Amino acid sequence: MDIATGWTECTGLANKTQDAVFGALQRLRAALPFPLLGIDSDNGSEFLNERLLRYCRREGLTFTRCRAYHKNDQAHVEERNGALVRQTIGDRYESPAALLQLNRAYGRLRVQVNGVLPAMKLIGKERVGARVRRRYDVPATPYRRALALGVVPAEAQARFAAELAAEGPLALRRQLDAALEQLWSLRVGSGPARATGDWRP
């Protein structure tokens, strides 16, 4: 997740090996509509390894990590994980077919979350007595925020605008729901598919 714009990319992995995570990172970087400046990871060995550090040095990327035993260091990412991964996707999946379908669903979710759904961004907090007043900016999609910052090259603008225009919000939602229904049919164990957003841990 990009903090400045709220842009979010998700991908499924068959495992958490260094090779799998490094390959996913390269795919996600290629999918971003703006340049990647840095990576902030958690403390897992799939991130903290010599291969990724060498890659960041070679590519001129800033590499930082959260502090040990400070769960809130990744608060923005965890919030997105809760809203997008746990509530929308739900269960864990184990088969190669499920991984393929999961990434198809993420492809539809990517366009919806970044290009269709506006979100408010917290710009300030002020304590008044015992209460905290929060101030938010004007709701905007991550794509619009990136455009306003002037970080999206013309080619990437054309590509993402074409995706948005080809789908349309309603068609995109239907495609996402169909992809999720197919994914849920592949989960371990049988049972009725869940409606999008109705999943509870």
Q: Tell me, what's the pLDDT at 166?
A: 82
The pLDDT of 103-124, averaged and rounded, is 93
Token reading at 63: 């590499």
> What's the gap between Cα 83 and its chain centre?
10
Q: What is the DSSP string of 69-93?
A: T-GGGGHHHHHHIIIIIIIII-S--
Q: Tell me, what's the pLDDT at 87?
A: 85
pLDDT band at 100 (very low <50, low <70, confident <90, very high): very high
Closest CA to 179 of 189, 169, 193: 193
Contact yes or no for 22/55 (Cβ under 8 A): yes
- pLDDT of 201 strictly over 70: no
Q: Tell me, what's the pLDDT at 159?
A: 92
Closest CA to 163 of 98, 116, 129: 116
In the chain, what is the straight-line distance between the N-terminal and C-terminal CA atoms, in Å?
A: 22
- Give the containing element (helix H, strand E) for 109: helix 96-115
Q: Tell me, what's the pLDDT at 81?
A: 74
- pLDDT of 111 strictly over 50: yes
Token reading at 16: 């958490």
Token reading at 167: 């789908």
Question: Distance between CA 132 and CA 129 in Å, rounded?
Answer: 8
Contact yes or no for 39/60 (Cβ under 8 A): no
pTM summary value: 0.84
pLDDT tens digit sequence for 13-47: 999 899 999 999 999 999 999 999 999 888 888 88
> What's the gap between Cα 123 and its chain centre?
21
Question: Distance between CA 9 and CA 73 in Å, rounded?
Answer: 19
pLDDT tens digit sequence for 63-93: 988 877 776 666 667 777 777 888 888 877 8
Q: Tell me, what's the pLDDT at 195?
A: 40
Q: What is the mean pLDDT of the chain?
A: 86
The pLDDT of 101-112, averaged and rounded, is 94
Q: Tell me, what's the pLDDT at 189?
A: 61
Contact yes or no for 183/89 (Cβ under 8 A): yes
- pLDDT of 124 strictly over 80: yes
Domain ranges of the chain: 18-184
What value, to the nearest 5°, has the Cα angle with vertex 177 and ends 174 and 182?
125
